[in-house]
Chain A
Amino acid sequence: MMIRMSLTGGLLASAMLAAVASPAFAQGSGSATLDAVKARGQLICGVAGAVPGFSLPDSQGVMRGLDADSCRNVAAAVLGDANKVKFANLTTTNRFTALQSGEVDMLSRSTTWTLGREASLGLMFAGVNYYDGTGFLVKKALGVKTAKEMDGATICVQPGTSTELAISDFYRVNKMKFTPILIQDLAEIQNAFLAGRCDAYSTDSSALATFRATQTNKDDFLLLPDIISKEPLGYVVRSGDDKWFDIVRWTYFATVTAEELGVDSKNVDEMVKSSTNPDIKRLLGTEGDMGKQLGLDPKWAYNVIKQVGNLGETWDRNITVLGVQRGINAIWTKGGLQYAPPIR
């Protein structure tokens, strides 16, 4: 019994010690997350790690994609170095717990912004890096042209996603029936679709487009034109840390603003030196104290743009190369939805 006692006692003591020593408890900037990230010298960012165009390691093992670059943006703004990110691969089922528990500092994992998630999961959505919608991918041999023709179809979908709910709604509204095949594992559900277990594979249309693009026989597949739901995918932080929320949100706005103002990674040094536009000067920290107000370095946005690029650059680098049109994801001046409030 002695052994058992000292064992449990030791565990308890070390747990308490860890709690006390944890940087999250230190008083600093007023943001536990910011302090923790700075103390660690690294941002831990939750991504999917398996979706081409969003987050997928390249052959050197470097995480590439829009979601991955969103993480780098925040690392550049907070730590001044876009490479100080540790990517944590999360599944659709453990992503929220990972964020809630502090295992990751933020989530950039094609996660849809919904009221339920913000109100009852203890999450806050700081920005939308991709305006998406649920779509259907079918095999051309099926001979289907629109989703409305899919009455009685079998549909592969990942459980625990907003897609699952969207499909139910779509079929209910159109008074049609469908058979769901629900498999959690991404590779397994894609296999099931390829093997013909289901007629259609449904998820965010961005993911469908990139999935199709990576298939060797991509012309055998057809992405149906219907978009049956709104899926704004974004940066997520846990609620209760407003300062951190502001940092993540304005980092995202900075990338939008930079694209709007025509500042990119190539001309940013030029802009710092010579630009007379007060908007650009405020953005790049040569005028005003925007960074300080966020608790960051004055060159926070400069670091983001210089090291990662503006929203358009990240988009082109990750998504355009897969053959997906920008559409509503263009900035507002070009008829899209990406809009940022003024940085002033």
Chain B
Amino acid sequence: MSGSIIDPRLANARAAPKRGMQLSWSDPVFRNIIWQTLIVGLIAGVIWYLAANTVRNLEVRHIATGLGFLSNTAGIPIAETLIPYDPATSTWGRAIAEGILNTLKVALVGIVLSTILGTLIGIGRLSKNWLVAKLTAVYVEVLRDLPLLLQLLFWYSLLQGLPGPRDFRGSTSIVFLTSRGLRLPLLNWEDAHSWALVVFVVGLIGTFLWNRAANKKQDATGTKPAVWPVALGLLIVLPVLVWAAMGAPWTLDVPVLKGFNMVGGGTITPEYFALLFGLVLYTASYIAEIVRSGIQAVPKGQWEAAGALGLHPFAVLRLVVLPQALRVIIPPMTSQFLNLTKNSSLAVAIGFQDVVSVSGTMLNQTGQAIEGVAIIMLTFLAFSLSISLFMNWYNARIALVER
């Protein structure tokens, strides 16, 4: 501790022969310890006081505590589920798991889409085309100036204005955009498709390995063997052949109007769509600025030097500028990913059942407020931590590649 003292008045004290801490107010080490004890004690005292109140209040008000409720039957319906869920038999634990999965479903898809859109808009802001540059600038300014909640409510109300499923009576379409969401035909999944998928994944690995070998060869000889024919063969031709060899099954599960709703096919609900759409548009406006400033942070000489080597502008961007810009981009991008994940909790306002919404219902049905809030906080802390760890790992990798 004393090693970090920079106060020049203390230089002599440090130079003096080693001595123990003195129990005197003039000894800075002693003073610091007293201060810290006081502050920590005070904070601990406040926390203890609040905790004691809570325990007493829970007792007086006969509120049940503990996590035992997690294995009780939930009884609440959940609109969108990723794992099988039946309100009649499933437990609260499972209901909350559905909520967490729904949050993940929004956050992961949202991160990918907003990165793509944000990068495009960020590059668009630097475009030499006046119209593109101005339009993307307006986009960024407008989207950042409006509360996300307002945007979500707006998109949700627009989606509700779409025609109802019955207005499509007699339609021969296979894609339906109604006030109940977007219904798409789904492929009836059969063994042939599974096998084709397996072959595709194997092909992906093969392409990756071939590309690495090609790069090595380029480093050694200066010429790079063509990658695309191998990729074409492994990724498209081979899977198609496997699928064809197994009888080329191709039947679609087409949505049809039956009773009240469309039945069959896959569906994207307006709640999920509005949430995802709003989050992506909003976050992309921030990511665009990060990408723009990242690219601008790359010295102009780099562009010019790469241009002088005869590289195509896209190649300059991909091979020279972006790798350098990424260094600047990654840290603020990480916090945008975290923001998007946290903002997904606004789902509660438009009826998408994420972890906040399910926990909120839970604490209202069971009265277990502390447990409910704790579940929400732990979930988000875990998400934040995982995203930070992943991005730090990626950042470290990028930094290595660059050198």
Contact = CB atoms under 8 A, between A and B. Distances in A.
A–B contact at 8 Å CB threshold (below): yes
Interface in B49-95: 49, 57, 60-64, 75-79, 87-88
Contact of A192 (B43, B75, B76, B160): B160
Interface in A172-200: 172, 178-185, 188-189, 191-192, 195-197, 199
Contacts of A151: 259
B353 A182 contact: yes
A343 B357 CA distance: 46
A158 B302 CA distance: 58
B261 A100 contact: no
A152 interface: yes
Interface of A: 1, 4-5, 8-9, 12, 92-93, 96-97, 100-101, 116-117, 119-122, 142, 150-154, 157, 159-160, 164-165, 167-169, 172, 178-185, 188-189, 191-192, 195-197, 199, 238-240
Interface stretch (B231-239, B290-298, B322-330, B358-366): B358-366
A168 B77 contact: yes
A12 B49 contact: yes
A199 B164 CA distance: 10
A185 B364 CA distance: 14
A167 B87 CA distance: 10
A268 B35 CA distance: 71
Given A1-B35, A151-B259, A240 B360 contact: no
Contacts of A97: 369
Residue of A1, A150, A152, A179 with most partner-chain B CB within 10 A: A179
Contacts of A101: 57
**10 closest A-B pairs (Cβ-Cβ)?**
A160-B364, A122-B61, A183-B351, A195-B160, A180-B77, A121-B367, A122-B62, A168-B87, A159-B361, A120-B64
B360 A160 contact: yes
Residue of A142, A164, A179, A196 with most partner-chain B CB within 10 A: A196
A165 B75 contact: yes
B63 A100 contact: yes
Interface string B1-40: 0000000000000000000000000000000000100110
Given A8-B42, A119-B62, A185-B349, 13 more contacts: A12-B46, A93-B363, A120-B366, A122-B61, A122-B62, A152-B263, A153-B260, A154-B261, A178-B77, A180-B79, A188-B350, A196-B160, A199-B261
A119 B360 CA distance: 20
A251 to B, nearest CB: 23
Contacts of B78: 180, 182
Nearest to A122: B61
Contacts of B125: none
B15 to A, nearest CB: 29
A159 B61 contact: no
Contact of B351 (A4, A192, A240): A192
Contact of B364 (A4, A93, A168): A93
Contacts of B61: 100, 122, 238-240
Contacts of B259: 151-153
Contacts of A195: 157, 160-161, 179
A70 B192 CA distance: 68
24 contacts: A8-B43, A8-B46, A93-B364, A96-B364, A96-B367, A100-B63, A120-B62, A120-B366, A121-B367, A122-B367, A152-B261, A152-B263, A159-B360, A160-B365, A165-B76, A168-B75, A172-B88, A181-B79, A188-B351, A195-B161, A199-B260, A238-B61, A239-B61, A239-B62
A179 B179 contact: no
Residue of A116, A160, A167 with most partner-chain B CB within 10 A: A160
Interface string B154-173: 00010011001000000000
Contacts of A199: 260-261
Interface in B171-225: 179-180
Contacts of B348: 184
Contacts of A238: 61
A5 B367 contact: no
B46 A154 contact: no
Contacts of A182: 77-79, 351, 353, 357, 361
B160 A159 contact: no
Contacts of B49: 12
A164 B63 contact: no
Contacts of B134: none
Given A152-B263, A168-B88, A195-B161, A240 B75 contact: no
A114 to B, nearest CB: 10
Given A97-B369, A120-B366, A180-B78, A172 B87 contact: yes
B77 A183 contact: no
Contact of A9 (B35, B42, B161): B42
A191 to B, nearest CB: 7
B255 interface: no
B318 interface: no
B270 interface: yes
Given A93-B364, A151-B259, A197-B179, A122 B77 contact: no
Given A181-B79, A239-B62, A197 B39 contact: no
Given A122-B63, A172-B87, A179-B261, A5 B39 contact: yes
Contacts of B353: 182
A179 B38 CA distance: 57
A93 B360 CA distance: 7
A153 B366 CA distance: 28
Nearest to B364: A160
Contact of A159 (B39, B157, B357): B357
Interface string B355-393: 001001101111101000000000000000000000000
